[in-house]
Structures are given as structure tokens and as C-alpha cells.
Amino acid sequence: MHARAISSPRKSIRRRQLREMVPLADSTIYEMEQRGEFPRRFCLSPRCVVWDLAEVEAWLEERRSKPSMPARGPDVRQRRTRPIKGQDPARTTA
């Protein structure tokens, strides 16, 4: 009889647990999964979707280790309404 290597079972988490760990909207997580930027979900049954806990934790750790870059604000010079004062060449003060 051969000795089998017993591996520890991989833990999976459901959507509610994922939301507690990752404060992103479901649609954002789905889009990131489609782009390959987030661990993929898998189905345990037709109505039960889960994520691998180790993969999610590794993703979080990777995100923590990268320096965060602030989001760029909108370019207000391209606004059609309420343009920035002084930017309109038609309006000049004498």
C-alpha cells in the first residue's frame, strides 16, 4: 500500500465573505476578473459561486505592496457647461 500525500483542503469563500475582504462593487470585481486582474470565481453548484481564499489573499497582499497612485481628476477645461473663468477667449475684460 502506497502512502498518499494528504494535502490540506483549499478554503473557498462566498460572495458575502469576499465583500467583507474586498470593498469593491460586484460589477467592478466581475470586470476585473474578465481582464485577468482579479482571481477567477468558480461554481460549486449551479447556484453557488466561490473564490479561492488563498488567491484572494495573495491578490490583496500584492495590491498592498504596490505603491498606490492617486486617481486623476476630470479635465475641467473640457467642460461644456460652467467653463473655468478666464478660459473663454470670447470673454475678455478691458
- H-state helical runs in the chain: 15-21, 26-35, 53-65
Instruction: Encode the chain (94 residues) as per-residue pLDDT tens digits.
Output: 455 555 667 899 999 999 999 999 999 999 999 999 999 999 999 999 999 999 999 999 999 998 877 888 878 777 777 766 665 555 555 4
Query: Three-state DSSP class for 77?
Result: helix
Q: In one letter, which amino acid is 45?
A: S
Query: Three-state DSSP class for 84?
Result: coil
Note the pTM of the prediction, 2 decimals. Answer: 0.64
CB atoms within 10 A of CB 49: 14
Question: How far is the CA of 32 from the CAs of 16, 26, 81, in angstroms?
Answer: 18, 10, 33
Q: Where do we find the cell 505603491? A: 67
